[in-house]
Structure 1
Amino acid sequence: MSQPTAGNRQIEALLEFYQAAGVDCFVGETAVDWFQLSEQQAQQRARPAPSNPVPVSAAPVAQNFVAAPQTGQAPGQSRPQPAPAPSGTPAPAPAGAPAVVPDREIIAAARQKATSAASLDELRACLEAFDGCNLKLTAKSLVFADGNPSARLMLIGEAPGRDEDIQGKPFVGRSGQLLDRMLAAIGLDRSSVYIANAVPWRPPGNRTPTPQETEICKPFITRQIELVDPDVVVFLGAASAKTLLGVQDGIRKMRGHWMTYPLVNRSAAAVATYHPAYLLRSPLEKRLAWRDFLSIRERLGAS
């Protein structure tokens, strides 16, 4: 059997992205303005029905629609179906779970629900029942946490990937395997650390979470850190550090510099380092990540 070429692997990766985004067919190359289309349909529904309605077979098919034969229709008749949204747009919500537009009320509701959780189990239940984040509509599972809730060291990434979405645990793919080796190098494993993500649902196609999605999920990860109450917090990548510390520096400038993270009654030591996924793409940077982990081991020994 011939080996797959680089072009074939790129096509497979693109198809996987489309599948994760909810695309199941391809029609045309022109983007569809769904807001304008919805407004036109609403205007048509508001108009009175004509005395001599146009037969279905004579009705024109709108541009960028596909005609799919329906069971029970006469030959030659078809009903137009909307084309899929272009790649990069949120996947359509499944029936019974309408998408929501993020606003201040939803963020306030997330903050209220997160604050009401008195334990990690209650916080997980709150996330499972929370419908204010549209990422939940496309993700297979909630990726809450892994490791020891009583650990002194907590590691926080940005968002789950494909493998994490399937297994429901953070950092279980290739980047997670590298993270395990990095922890083992300083004498730790998953039984002695606690791992979570700033966003607990996988974005479609592994895209970057939007600022609105991150802001909606922020009260939950903030409460999660408070309930774990670690001595040391490690941000894996700049995204989680920017979300929870409010800093704007890039990871190259930020990494290795110790900061403080405020808890309920005290502060935890905090540091940012390279995300394992970045280290897989840039292996030369592992030497700097190794320095960061040596510093983490030293801080744990001193605290």
Structure 2
Amino acid sequence: MVGALAIDDRTAAASLIRWWRDVGVDTLVDDTPRNWLAAPKPLPLHEQGSPAKALERPTSAPARQHLSAEPEVLPATLPELLDWMRESADVPEARWGRHRVVAAGNPKSDLMIMIDAPDGTELVGGETGALLDKMLKAIGRDRGTIWLAPFATIRPVGRVPQDALRRLAAIARHHIGLVAPKRLLIMGDAPSRGLLGSEVVPARGRIHAIKLKDATVEAVATYHPRFLHERQTAKAQAWKDLQLVMKGL
């Protein structure tokens, strides 16, 4: 009986070691032992500088500095911008897919709606599109009386990378400036982050002022119809946002 227990123990130990080896935890990242609790060694005198300089030395890693760059030159007219967004290999989302969908509707409208990205080959289609049409009807509008634009012409897989978000926001601001609407309704987290600096939940419920090159556009953030289709309880909040964006139009 004792011998059987010893064999079982050896078998269990071998199985555990084999599992560690399979998941890669059998090897130390650093073979050199170190005392993680030891106080940091003082700098040599030639590196310390004056006492005042020592006090000025940051105790944590400095914040990442944003590199300045020349502003991007974008097409000067709305038709040229739409063609560029549809065909250029230089748009941020060029590698996300092949089929791009650009803005549609009435570019002279006083109301511009910016969604995060198209639904496949349509700006907003299917049941989500039907819900958008109902939302527009509730405020006396339809797709022919607004300018409906995507923040990105192709839907990304996952969250929009930060570098792409910055470029998309710059393009969106230029787009808004060319249309010059009286009000902008932002639907979805990506355009809200890019244009307002925060996601929809903290941004909604008030009017934001987006300062452009030659004008200031008032904007309201709300949920995308896609989200509302999944979260019916948020429709009451979205209705308040719609009333807010229509106030004064």
- TM-score category (smaller protein): 0.5 to 0.7
Q: Which amino acid counterpart does residue 162 of structure 2 have in structure 1?
A: P
Percent identity at matched positions? 28
- CA deviations over 1:273-296 (Å, ceiling 9, x no partner): 111111111101101111111222
Matches within 5 A, 1:270-289: 270-289=219-238
| Residues 1:182 and 2:135 aligned together | yes
Q: Which residue matches 1:228?
A: 179
- Matching of residue 119 in structure 1 with residue 72 in structure 2: no
Count of matched residue positions in the alignment of Structure 1 and Structure 2: 185
Q: Which residue identity lines up with residue 215 of structure 1 in the other structure? A: R
| Residue in 1 that maps onto 2:160 | 209
The equivalent residue for 2:242 is 293
Cα 1:108–1:171 shift into 2, 3 Å: farther
CA distance in structure 2 between the partners assigned to 1:289 and 1:141 by the alignment: 30
- What is the identity, as a one-letter code, of the residue corresponding to 2:182? D
Q: Does 1:197 align with 2:150?
A: yes
- Could you say which residue in structure 2 is the equivalent of 1:155? 113
Among 123, 136, 143, the residue aligned to 1:170: 123
Q: Does 1:218 align with 2:169?
A: yes
Does the 8 Å contact 2:116/2:188 carry over to 1? yes
- The structure whose Rg is larger is 2
Distance in 2, matches of 1:120 and 1:227, equals 6
Q: Which runs of 5+ in 1 are unaligned?
A: 1-29, 31-103
How has the CA–CA distance of structure 1 residues 125 and 178 changed in structure 2, closer, same or farther, with 3 Å as cutoff? same
Cα 1:240–1:138 change in 2 (3 A) is closer
Q: Where does 1:124-139 land on structure 2 (aligned, <5 Å)?
A: 124-133=82-91, 135-139=93-97
One-letter code aligned to 1:282: R
Q: 1:238 to 1:281 in 2, by over 3 A?
A: same
Residues 147-180 of structure 1 deviation map (CA, whole Å, 9 limit, x = unaligned): 1110100111112232xxx2xx422233222111
Q: What is the CA distance between 1:185 and its match in structure 2?
A: 0.5
Distance 2:134 2:111 in 1: 16
Which residue identity lines up with residue 286 of structure 1 in the other structure?
Answer: K
Residue of structure 2 in register with 1:238 after alignment: 189
Gapped runs of 5+ residues in structure 2? 1-22, 24-66
Q: 1:288 to 1:119 in 2, by over 3 A?
A: same
- The verdict on how the C-alpha distance between 1:282 and 1:184 changes in structure 2, with shifts beyond 3 A counting, is same
Equivalent pair of 2:92/2:168 in contact (CA under 8 Å)? no
Asked whether the 8 Å contact 2:114–2:149 carries over to 1, the reply is yes
CA contact (8 A) 1:146 1:196 kept: yes
**2: CA distance, partners of 1:108 / 1:263:** 17
Q: 1:254 aligns with which of 195, 200, 203?
A: 203
d(CA) in 2 for partners of 1:157, 1:282: 17
Q: In 1, are the aligned partners of 2:206 and 2:244 still within 8 Å (CA)?
A: no
Q: Distance in 1 between matches of 2:208 and 2:142?
A: 24
Cα-Cα RMSD: 2.5
Deviation at residue 119 of structure 1 after TM alignment: 1.4
Amino acid at match of 2:194: T
Residue 136 of structure 1: CA displacement?
2.2
Structure 2-normalised TM-score? 0.66
Give secondary structure in 1 for the equivalent of 2:247.
helix
Instruction: Tell me by how many angstroms 1:138 deviates.
Output: 4.3
Shift in alpha-carbon separation, 1:253–1:129, aligned structure 2, 3 A: closer
Pairwise CA distance, 1:133: 4.5
Measure the CA separation in 1 of the matches of 2:83 and 2:221: 29
User: Residue 145 of structure 1 corresponds to which residue in structure 2?
Assistant: 103
Q: Displacement of 1:139 after TM fit?
A: 2.0
